[in-house]
Amino acid sequence: MSLSLRHALAALVMSASVLFATGSTAHAATAAEVDGEIAVPCWIYTYKPDADWYFPATTSPKALVYLQHGFSRANDNVADLARKYQAAGYLVFAPTLPSADIYGCTVNNLGNNTVFLNSVAAWIGTATTSSGALATSYASAAAKAGRSGSTLPTSYVLAGHSAGGEAVTYIANRLRTTYPAAFANLKHLQLLDPVKSIFGSNMATGLTGLAGTSLPILTISSPPYLANSDASGTVALTDLIDRDFLGVRLTTGSHCDAEGASTNALCTLTAGTSQAANVTALQTLAVNWALGTDPSYRPGGAYYQSLLSAGVIETLSGN
């Protein structure tokens, strides 16, 4: 082989190697967690609550998971579950909403928090607007995570624990009535041992409005006891949504299961310590139900049936 031909072949191989390397790293990224904030109107003020962003190790997340904590909790209490979604390829947004506020701007309903939740729903409803609160918060977080120029996913999952379950139910219905384009991109409503507020009708309003839609609504609940107000949110779900499958109850579950390793004594002292098997089951089902494409995690599927046979879960359906 002539020297010139060898040089030509070497150059060709090097060019191909560079091209291959460029292509193989185009979608590579490093998972990142960013502590940010987001603006939301509250009465005559604008609040800027803490908002955590979890970027997956891909530049093409499967969907945006809005993960809402419960009463007297904060976003760091759901960090363990957020990281499970993140590891599965989801972008996670976890804000901290007040549990007590003189203007009623709370995650739980202490009288009438619907005006505030309408503003929270607008985060998703105006997500495609560059000047919207969610897009603005994302842009700032993305810059810190080394993702400048990227955009929010167009598919959404709403997940809420405890009072957060009631909140995201109301928000989902608000999207249906006020932001139909955003509602069309809502792929799943996930209720993690939801609790209905003792005031107002947010849970019932949300579920009644969603009852006639095809939006997947699934819960992972614990047995009725004081910590979850006798499973008030789960009872409302199974009473108002008439479907063959509405999720599962962890037969020995704790209200703290959704918080996993990021729970603390404030939860466990009042709700009991979680069992590792229940936390694993909840996290596995929650992550794999998010877009609901793998039958292994539904009734009849291998993983689901293994939990059912072992007595870890029981199936919930509408009345």
pLDDT given for residue 29 in this prediction = 82
Structural domains in the chain (count): 2
pLDDT given for residue 292 in this prediction = 83
Angle at 313 between CA 266 and CA 244, to 5 degrees: 115
pLDDT given for residue 27 in this prediction = 55
Cβ atoms 98, 106 nearer than 8 A: yes
**Structure tokens, 130:** 């560059």
Same domain, 1 and 113: no
Domain that holds residue 128: 31-316
Same domain, 10 and 69: no
Kindly report the CATH number assigned to the domain that includes residue 112. Answer: 3.40.50.1820
- In angstroms, the CA 125 to CA 294 distance is 28
Cβ atoms 82, 76 nearer than 8 A: no
Same domain, 92 and 3: no
Give the pLDDT confidence of 168-196 residue by residue, as tens digits: 999 999 999 999 999 999 999 999 999 99
C-alpha separations of 74 from 41, 71, 107, 232, 259 in Å: 19, 8, 10, 21, 10
Same domain, 175 and 150: yes
Q: Encode 3-20: b = buried (16+ Cβ within 10 Å), e = exposed.
A: eeeeeeeeeeeeeeeeee
- In angstroms, the CA 315 to CA 307 distance is 10
Same domain, 22 and 49: no
Cβ atoms 93, 34 nearer than 8 A: no
pLDDT given for residue 90 in this prediction = 98
Same domain, 14 and 71: no
**Structure tokens, 248:** 């599962």
**Structure tokens, 92:** 């996670």
Same domain, 117 and 8: no
Reduced to 3 states (helix: H, G, I; strand: E, B; else coil), residue 224 is coil
**Structure tokens, 212:** 């006639």
C-alpha separations of 270 from 60, 108, 160, 166, 252 in Å: 40, 18, 19, 20, 16
Same domain, 6 and 60: no
- In angstroms, the CA 202 to CA 292 distance is 26
Closest Cα to residue 55, out of 34, 36, 35? 34
**Structure tokens, 306:** 């293994």
Same domain, 157 and 20: no
Same domain, 25 and 50: no
Give the pLDDT confidence of 194-212 residue by residue, as tens digits: 999 999 999 999 999 999 9
Same domain, 43 and 64: yes
pLDDT given for residue 24 in this prediction = 34
**Structure tokens, 141:** 């977080």
pLDDT given for residue 126 in this prediction = 98
Low-confidence ranges of the chain (pLDDT < 50): 1-26
pTM of this prediction? Answer: 0.91
Same domain, 24 and 3: yes
